Structure 1
Amino acid sequence: MTQTRNLITDVAGLRVGNAHDAALGSGVTVALFDEPAVASCFAMGGAPATRETDLLDPDKMVPSIHGVVLSGGSAFGLDAASGVQAYLREREIGFAIREALVPIVCQASSFDLLNGGNKDWGRYPPYRDLGFQAAEQASLNFDLGTAGGGYGATTANLKGGLGSTSATTSSGHRVGALVIVNAIASAVIGDGPHFWAGAYEEGSEFGGLGLPSQVSPKMRSLVWKGGPQLATTIALVATDAVLTKAQARRLAIASHAGLARALRFSHALFDGDTIFAAATGRKPLRDEAAEFTEITALAADCLTRAIARGVYEATALPYPGAQPAWRDLFGEIARD
């Protein structure tokens, strides 16, 4: 088996790019597919900010998409997809309708408008340009933590960020996850340092500390940003398998288990928790039921790990009073 990067780009057929603005305190992450990918999505949060998600329903006619955008900026950030469309159109990539060419780009945005960055951008927000820049940077390797769409992300008690992981099924299918961790709640148990995702860690990808010997009721106490303050954990899971849109929808639904395992808690009224699922179609399913079931299980595992990794890799924002990063508090005991 080819050596992996432990990134979603281990799934053949996609590339990822980041762009962010440090003064703005926000950014954009773009996943571009080498060939149109079968995709769907499922939102379980009470306050999603999305673009072009209805067409991902299995009964809709568009068969595949060209890219997925995960950004900051809440509803303003949805402009980022226009920049990605411009990038693709300049390269003559899109869904052909007679002489018209329409790139199909779907998006979810997270709420990072209160993180201390300068959001006084004038008449139009900067996300369209950031989307174009992120598309230009798309490659097999990309930064995690305080980067791209995860630049301005926060959690209830620690800096959030951009996370990604990958896995391989027993039948050889590749699976991966890409996530902006901008959670309303916490990714760590109690005051830390252990992650709720500790049981799923591979190697020392987020510090190698595992789980505590016991989780007390106090450590399970709810810690959250408070309301009304919106928060959004948004993700893309992908596989190299050949899937239908209905199967991609099921994959998106099943992957929400990973989000619920990695955070205490998720899918709340003020959350916009949304997961896209995409299949690049490089490797057919032989035993369809068994192989697809394993893909859904490992995709959820990848998302669990990616959420912890996004927090682990983050660095604090350069603003007075900004949240500490996990590494600020616990970096000396990490086993990486």
Structure 2
Amino acid sequence: MNLLIDIGGLTVGQAQDEHLASGVTVVVFDEPAIAGVAVLGGAPAGRDQECLLPDRTVERVDALVLSGGSSFGLDATTGVQAWLRERGRGIAVGNVRVPIVPTAILFDLVNGGDKDWGQYPPYRELGYAACQAAGTRFDLGTAGAGYGATTVDLKGGLGSASIRTTAGHTVAAVVAVNAIGSAMIGNGPHFWAAPYEIGGEFGGLGWPAQPTDVYPLAWKGQGVTATTIGIVATDAVLTKAQATRLAAVAGTGLGKALRLSHASMDGDTIFAAATGQKPLRPGLDDFIELAARASDCVARALARGVYEATALPFPGSLPSWRDRHDK
């Protein structure tokens, strides 16, 4: 299906609030999964990410969360933990179970939505609702954690992509695109990720026919922070150290698909998770290809997130790719 749910052993759920103009995407694993993380931007925020470092005690996670709302969105984790705890999930500590739910957030607080939520932000409820909706299909574009996302020049969104390696392992990505820069080459309809596109998944336009002036840079300014966050998953059997390396290599997909990324006001973060259904063959070749394909999937998912997005219904909102180019 060219989606993260092509990986066996997981489901994806989403919830969003149209008036808030923000949302949550959660990946719930059928069984605890090995996971790692790569924090790439200069202004990140997350929850329970340090437990994913290779030398930390916790080996596996029950779910991973991507949320809008900047640091307020970290409350989504509480809702996800509540849902998992009701189902007896989590590490046993005495007679208590503690679900392990690392989370990354993006900044969407100035996108026109109503952020006057009162005493407490709504992300705990959105996290729980996303778990309730978890299944084997999910929307792309203006949905979930990508609902309120933007790039510097177009509406951002949620994208996904998958591929199978020559050894038969599947790897996939889901990405919420709230980039500081642009996914587009100049002012035209062509994506930086074009060389990695498969089957016209984001328009099939390829590179521009004529050279384009790509030297001018544009980025979100005036202290507005930006973050592209994502999850890469595979059915391969990986160690925690390999999952950490997979996240790092997958993060290079942001550089393939954006001009620019990993900036000082970015919180770019990529998780990697392994459901452990298919062992790698001896040697490094299988893992090297897996990581390279993961990087491609991140680039493709990022472009799809922009391509599938629809503009927010607020005055001054950025146009979608289709608003500007699909005419």
In the superposition, the TM-score normalised over structure 1's length comes to 0.96
Match 1:69 to one of 65, 68, 81: 65
CA distance in 2, matches of 1:142, 1:125: 24
Q: How does 1:1-336 map to 2 (within 5 A)?
A: 5-216=1-212, 218-332=213-327
Consecutive aligned runs of 4 or more in structure 1 exceeding 6 Å deviation: none
Other structure's SS at 2:151 match: coil
Deviations 1:242-266 (A, max 9, x none): 0000000000111111011100010
How many Å apart are 1:227 and its aligned residue?
3.5
Aligned partners of 1:230 and 1:270 also within 8 Å? yes
How many Å apart are 1:287 and its aligned residue?
3.0
Aligned partners of 1:180 and 1:310 also within 8 Å? yes
Deviations 1:134-172 (A, max 9, x none): 011111110000000100000000000000000000000
How many Å apart are 1:231 and its aligned residue?
0.2
CA RMSD of aligned residues (A): 0.8
In structure 1, runs of 5+ residues without a counterpart are none
Amino acid at match of 2:157: G
Aligned partners of 1:46 and 1:269 also within 8 Å? yes
CA distance in 2, matches of 1:96, 1:242: 24
* Alignment size in residue pairs: 327
CA distance in 2, matches of 1:299, 1:11: 13
Amino acid at match of 1:58: P
How many Å apart are 1:214 and its aligned residue?
4.2
In structure 2, runs of 5+ residues without a counterpart are none
CA distance in 1, matches of 2:160, 2:32: 21
How many Å apart are 1:127 and its aligned residue?
0.2
Deviations 1:3-32 (A, max 9, x none): xx1001101111111100000010000000
CA distance in 2, matches of 1:198, 1:121: 40
In the superposition, the TM-score normalised over structure 2's length comes to 0.99
Aligned partners of 1:28 and 1:130 also within 8 Å? yes
Other structure's SS at 1:316 match: coil
CA distance in 1, matches of 2:257, 2:282: 30
Amino acid at match of 1:73: G
Amino acid at match of 1:61: T
CA distance in 2, matches of 1:112, 1:228: 13
CA distance in 2, matches of 1:257, 1:202: 18
CA distance in 2, matches of 1:284, 1:170: 14
Other structure's SS at 1:291 match: helix
Aligned partners of 1:94 and 1:103 also within 8 Å? yes
Aligned partners of 1:189 and 1:220 also within 8 Å? no
CA distance in 2, matches of 1:327, 1:220: 25
Aligned partners of 1:191 and 1:219 also within 8 Å? no
CA distance in 2, matches of 1:219, 1:59: 42
